[in-house]
Structure 1
Amino acid sequence: MDDQQNITFMWPSHLPPDNSMMRYLNSTEEYLAYLCGPKRSRLSLPMTLVYATIFLIGVIGNTLVCLVILKHHNMRTPTNYYLFSLAVSDLLVLLLGMPLEVYEMWSNYPFLFGAWGCYFKTVLFETVCFASILSVTTVSVERYVAIIHPFQAKLKSTRSRALKILVTLWIFSILFSIPNTSTHGILLQYFPNGSLIPDSATCTVVQPLWIYNCIIQVTSLLFYILPMGVISVLYCLMGIKLRGDHSLEADKMSVNVQRPSRKSITKMLFVLVMVFGICWAPFHVDRLFFSFVLDWTEPLANAFNLTHVVSGVFFYLSSAVNPLIYNLLSRRFRSAFQNVLPPFFKSLKPKIPVQSLAPPKSTLILTVRNRMDSGEEGSPSFPHRTSVCSSHLSTVL
């Protein structure tokens, strides 16, 4: 939300120069700080340390998720394809977005990458934001169909279908990122006499604010509020179905202990969605806060800055926490992680055979309902078994 930080504290530039203030501005740097805020954030050092920790955890964890799904054929299920898409969007945010934001914490202006760099930054963050929520929503719908309509899931939930949905999802996300990107550009500051202030370029909103505010409100509704509402209803219905499903007792009695039950898979995805919703809530509160406030006062600006910092931390935290959820709640992911770890880590724990990732053949104790569950993952290999979505830390803090 780099554009928000600039707009919030550039409001003096939209007013006639304050003569009482001008006599205290004895240099170009002071006048530019008066217009755009401090060049460096007061929280640049602690926030850099926090972001570096999130960066390491997120990059390592999401890389492992991608390697696990690519390396082990038995992990290439429709559900895991959506998790792969989520991991890719998280990696894009961490590898391309976070370094740029950390740089801007230390040097908020001038923006060094020109207009096309500004467009790329905005479209990148907007696209991965939309792709993340759409991936989470899609995997929730797939899980709902698998629980409520298992026969239909067995017929329709395939890997080829999942790939087609993901391609459509990413194209859709790119297209919806264009409106917000079109409001951005490079803004230059000028002295009262009309001359250009050196090194004053910032990547921010250059179109009328009402256009930007409308886009923010619509996208927050379409890509957070409505999806999270639909997801909440779906998991409530799934919970009711699973609570009254006595056929789950057959899963507990079965010798086929390696096959993940419907309940365990749904539990993992429920936790993932819940954490996703919590981590993204401050970000959308921040966006809507800015878009609805027209007359800024000092208390409102302070409240916005606090929300801004919290939203930035939680935004990037959402990109790092998913692999931890898989490791804690999924035995198959945990086993697969251990098999792709570097040799040093493998020596610390006994290697788990790759074959253990695939469930054994079903036994006679499995009922027809159990075999229906194999369609939940949708993989033929198992016949029986979570800007403006840009910078987040205002340099005025």
Structure 2
Amino acid sequence: MNISWVRANATAQVLAEICLNETEYLALFLGPLTSPVFLPVCVTFLIIFVVGAMGNTLTCAVIVRYKVMQTPTNYYLLSLAVSDLLVLVLGMPLELYEMWQNYPFLLGEGGCYFKTFLFETVCFASILNVTALSVERYVAVVHPLKVKHVTTRAHAKRVILSLWVLSMLCAVPNTSLHGVVMLPPKFGREFPQSAICLVKPTWMYNLIILVTTVFFFLLPMLIISVLYLLIGLRLHRERVMSMVEATSSFGPESVLVAVFGLCWAPFHVDRLMWSYIDTWSVQHLKIFEHVHIISGVFFYLSSAINPILYNLMSTRFREMFRPTACITCEKVK
């Protein structure tokens, strides 16, 4: 989503008739070429990138390197780590570039489609992988007798493949609505420097955003919350832990649910605001700019924090991380 077009809609149309040079005209409608918060956001993103890239890479390395770690549960973690790496490695640089140079969009129509398709796919894949992992944990704890028959490696691979295919299919509608948009000609001239990658038929986009918010945030949030609640109740009821541990058995599950909601809620609020605010005042624009920055930070933070939440909570992963990290450091040297 490019915030420049929102700023264009918020600008009074009468000012377009003032005799301005091209730079002033573009700045009037699309805002500054470089975001005023580029530097602090860039530093924040770089920290998130380093932590997330290291954590997800180590997760992949541990699962691929050690056969004992190649369990159905860890296959979901591997898929989640791959989607998170794609978000960090491909999504973050594109967003930073857009903040550094809001316009023009240099990759053309095909690049606009590819960028949107990739971003939507990895977003959906991350959410579906987290949900599938929650279902697998629920089956393992609440229905342990079914684990050998239901959560096999082959089954996990089929589910993961289905999740990625579903993510790609669900990314198509939003992708098809995007394209390169330019400001209309003024003063007898065109403005190719105003080209940005943006949605074209907004009414259909608004419907898609509403549907994806329900099915890729509210519904997964509900499923994850209910499943982890049932897991906590089962552990508490059967007293598989000591009394102290049983009392805190809701802790990790509560953290996972809270982090999922905290990281993904701003992302969907950002998209809903852009979709359903028809008349943009200066105040609306300022609020949206802050929401847009916060949503980006928490969105990428989700990809960086997943290895900590899902892997470092496991004793076996902690045991495997250290030698794998040492081997990686020795190869770098």
Partner letter of residue 290 of structure 2?
A: L
Unaligned ranges ≥5, structure 2: none
Matched, 1:213 2:203: no
Give the secondary structure class of the aligned counterpart of 1:329: coil
What is the aligned partner in structure 2 of residue 71 from structure 1?
65
CA distance in 2, matches of 1:161, 1:280: 28
Give the secondary structure class of the aligned counterpart of 1:67: helix
Partner letter of residue 187 of structure 1?
A: V
What is the aligned partner in structure 2 of residue 335 from structure 1?
319
Give the secondary structure class of the aligned counterpart of 1:185: strand
| CA displacement at 1:278 relative to structure 2 | 1.4
- Give 1:164-175 correspondences, 5 Å limit: 164-175=158-169
CA distance in 2, matches of 1:63, 1:6: 34
Partner letter of residue 71 of structure 2?
A: T
What is the aligned partner in structure 2 of residue 115 from structure 1?
109
- Give 1:11-90 correspondences, 5 Å limit: 11=9, 17-18=13-14, 20=15, 22-23=17-18, 25-90=19-84
Q: Give a deviation string over 1:93-117, Cα, whole Å, max 9, x none.
A: 1111111111111111111111111
| CA displacement at 1:331 relative to structure 2 | 1.4
> Kindly, what percent of the aligned residue pairs are identical?
50
CA distance in 2, matches of 1:97, 1:11: 26
| CA displacement at 1:340 relative to structure 2 | 0.6
Return structure 1 stretches of 4+ with deviation > 6 angstroms. none
What is the aligned partner in structure 1 of residue 227 from structure 2?
234
Distance 1:320 1:309, change over 3 A: same
Give the secondary structure class of the aligned counterpart of 1:147: helix
Q: Give a deviation string over 1:2-58, Cα, whole Å, max 9, x none.
A: 2xx133112168x8x41x5643x5210111112222111001111111111111111
| CA displacement at 1:235 relative to structure 2 | 1.3
What is the aligned partner in structure 2 of residue 314 from structure 1?
298
Distance 1:139 1:269, change over 3 A: farther
Distance 1:21 1:200, change over 3 A: closer
Between Structure 1 and Structure 2, the one with more helix by share is: 2
CA contact (8 A) 1:140 1:269 kept: no
Query: What count of residue pairs does the alignment treat as equivalent?
Result: 327
What is the aligned partner in structure 1 of residue 4 from structure 2?
6
| CA displacement at 1:203 relative to structure 2 | 0.6
Give the secondary structure class of the aligned counterpart of 2:229: helix
- Give 1:112-261 correspondences, 5 Å limit: 112-207=106-201, 209-248=202-241
Looking at CA atoms only, which structure, 1 or 2, has the larger radius of gyration? 1
Question: Greater relative contact order: 1 or 2 (C-alpha under 8 angstroms, separation 6 or more)?
Answer: 1
Partner letter of residue 121 of structure 2?
A: T
| CA displacement at 1:326 relative to structure 2 | 4.4
Q: Give a deviation string over 1:221-261, Cα, whole Å, max 9, x none.
A: 01000110111111111211110103456xx9xxxxxxxxx
Q: Normalising by the residue count of structure 1, what TM-score does the alignment of the two structures yield?
A: 0.77
Distance 1:202 1:345, change over 3 A: closer
Q: Give a deviation string over 1:106-147, Cα, whole Å, max 9, x none.
A: 111111111111111101110011111111111111111222
Greater mean deviation of Cα atoms: 307-316 or 196-205: 196-205
CA contact (8 A) 1:54 1:316 kept: yes
CA contact (8 A) 1:78 1:162 kept: yes
| CA displacement at 1:191 relative to structure 2 | 3.0
Greater mean deviation of Cα atoms: 161-170 or 316-325: 316-325
CA distance in 2, matches of 1:344, 1:141: 33
CA distance in 2, matches of 1:165, 1:70: 19
CA contact (8 A) 2:232 2:253 kept: no
Distance 1:234 1:324, change over 3 A: closer
Unaligned ranges ≥5, structure 1: 253-262, 347-397
Q: Normalising by the residue count of structure 2, what TM-score does the alignment of the two structures yield?
A: 0.91
CA contact (8 A) 1:289 1:304 kept: yes
| CA displacement at 1:272 relative to structure 2 | 3.6
Distance 1:12 1:246, change over 3 A: closer
Distance 1:302 1:31, change over 3 A: same
